Amino acid sequence: MKNLSTQQKITAGAIAAVVVIGGGYLGLSTYAASVAEERINSTLAKAGIYHSSYSWSSISASPFGGVIELEGLKVHHDVSGGRGRHFISLNADRLVLEGFNTDAFPEQASISLEQVEIPSVNIDGFERNRLKQNLDHSPLMVLANSSGRTSLVPFKLQLEWVLDGEELALDWSTEQPDLFRAEGHQLITGPLTQLRAMVTPTNLTPSMTAIGSLIGLGSQLGLREVELEIQDLGAIERANQLRARYDIAGGKAENKDQSDAAFLTQNRSGCENGLQAIFTNSDACERLAEFLSAERSSIHFSAEGERSLTLSELFQLDHRNADYLKSEFSPEIN
C-alpha cells in the first residue's frame, strides 16, 4: 500500500473531522428536535391543550438550544369544553420560536409566523372559529372590504421582546399582502417581575384568584414609548379609487379630482377638530389626511414620555387631556 503524503493525511483528517462533526451535529439536531417536541407537548398539556388540537408536518431545533422551527402548523382547539361549538383555528406554513429555553417567561425571545391563514369553521350555518369571528368584525376586514377585498390572503406576523427588570421592549411587524405593512415598537413598564413569575407553563390556566391578581397587576402596566409605521400596499389606494367612483356615480362629484379634494379636506378638518391639539407638529393632520387620501404611501406615529402612562390612566383620558398628552409624551405624525 502506497504511503500517504503529509498533505494527503491532513486532507483526509480534515474530511474525517467534517464527517464526524457533521454527523454529530445532525444527531444532536435530531435529539434537540425530539426534546423540543416533548417540551411543547408537555407545556400545552398543562394548559389543557392536547395533541388532538394541533399538528405539524415537521419540527427542527438547534442542538445548542434557542431556536425551534415548526413546518406545516395546524391548530384546531375546541374552546367549548369538548362540545364542538367554538374553536381556535389557524394554519401557518412556518412557526419559528427563539429564546424559549426554560420554563420561565423568556427575557429575550421572538416568535415568527409565515403564511398565516385563519380558516372558516362553519357549523349549522354559523362561524365557529373565534379567530375568524373577531377578524371578520375587525378594522382590518373593514379596510379590506373598502378596498374591494372580501377575504384576506395568508399573511406574516413577527413579534420579539427584550425584558430588562421592570421594562419590556416590544417590537412587532406584520405584512398583509395587497393591503399594508406595519411595524410597531412599545416600551412597557410596570410590575413585570411579578407578572413574569405568574406566567409559566404550570399556570397557563390560572384560578379566578390568580386572574384577579393578573388584572390588578396589568392595570399598573404603562407605556413610555410608542411607535407605529404603516406602509400602504394597495388597500388605501384602491379604497380611494372606489370612493371616487361611487361619488361620481352618486352625483357627489363631477370627477375624481373633485372627489379626492373633498375627501382630503374632510379628513384634515376632522383631524384638526379632534386631534391636532394632541400633536407637537403642526402639520400632523395634513400628513394624516394625505395618507388616508392615498397622497402619501406611508405614515409614522411616535410618542415618548419621561414617565409611563398606565392603562388605568389611559382609560380615563378624553379630549380635555390634550395639553397633558402633548406636554408629557410629545406625539408626532410624520
Q: How far is it, in rounded angstroms, from Cα 278 to Cα 310?
A: 18
Distances (CA, A) of 54 to 2, 166, 214, 223: 60, 34, 27, 35
Which pLDDT score is estimated for 14?
39
Which pLDDT score is estimated for 66?
72
**% residues pLDDT > 90 (the chain):** 55
Tell me which residue of 231, 239, 227 sits closest to 299, measured CA to CA: 231
Query: pLDDT per residue over 26-37, tens digit each?
Result: 344 455 677 778
Which pLDDT score is estimated for 30?
53
Residue 243 confidence (pLDDT) above 70: yes
Tell me which residue of 260, 265, 236, 264 sits closest to 247, measured CA to CA: 260
Q: Please give the average per-residue pLDDT across 49-63, as a whole number.
A: 85
Q: Please give the average per-residue pLDDT across 280-286, as a whole number.
A: 94
Distances (CA, A) of 295 to 155, 181, 291: 25, 17, 6
Which pLDDT score is estimated for 29?
46
| C-alpha Rg value of the chain to the nearest Å | 26
pLDDT band at 209 (very low <50, low <70, confident <90, very high): low
Q: What's the one-letter identity of residue 255? A: N
Which pLDDT score is estimated for 237?
96
Query: pLDDT per residue over 254-275, tens digit each?
Result: 999 999 999 999 999 999 987 8
Q: pTM for this structure?
A: 0.82
Which pLDDT score is estimated for 52?
84
Question: What residue spans define the domains of the chain?
Answer: 1-137, 147-189+221-334
The three grid cell numbers given for residue 94, joined into one nine-digit string: 412556518
Q: How far is it, in rounded angstroms, from Cα 244 to Cα 15?
A: 68
Q: How far is it, in rounded angstroms, from Cα 80 to Cα 248?
A: 49
pLDDT band at 249 (very low <50, low <70, confident <90, very high): very high
Query: pLDDT per residue over 100-134, tens digit each?
Result: 776 677 889 999 999 999 999 999 999 999 999 99
Which pLDDT score is estimated for 17?
38
Residue 185 confidence (pLDDT) above 90: yes
Q: Which residue has the cell 409559566?
A: 200
The three grid cell numbers given for residue 255, joined into one nine-digit string: 370627477
Tell me which residue of 161, 219, 163, 213 sits closest to 192, measured CA to CA: 163
Q: Which of 120 and 211 is assigned the larger pLDDT? A: 120
Q: Decide if 85 contacts 117 (C-beta within 8 A).
A: no
Q: How far is it, in rounded angstroms, from Cα 241 to Cα 77?
A: 40
Pairing mode, strands 58-61 and 54-55: unpaired
Residue 198 confidence (pLDDT) above 80: no
Q: Decide if 120 contacts 126 (C-beta within 8 A).
A: no
Query: pLDDT per residue over 138-179, tens digit each?
Result: 999 999 999 999 888 999 999 999 999 999 999 999 999 999
Q: How far is it, in rounded angstroms, from Cα 227 to Cα 180?
A: 16
Residue 206 confidence (pLDDT) above 70: no
Q: What's the one-letter identity of residue 310? A: T
Tell me which residue of 314, 320, 264 sits closest to 293, measured CA to CA: 264
Sign of the torsion angle spanned by Cα atoms 59, 54, 140, 241: positive
Which pLDDT score is estimated for 319?
55
Q: Please give the average per-residue pLDDT across 83-87, as a whole number.
A: 90
Which pLDDT score is estimated for 256?
94
How big, in percent rounded to 5, are the helix, strand and coil portions of the chain?
45, 30, 25
Which pLDDT score is estimated for 289?
96
Which pLDDT score is estimated for 64?
58
Which pLDDT score is estimated for 25?
34
Which pLDDT score is estimated for 21?
33
Residue 229 confidence (pLDDT) above 70: yes
Which pLDDT score is estimated for 184?
96
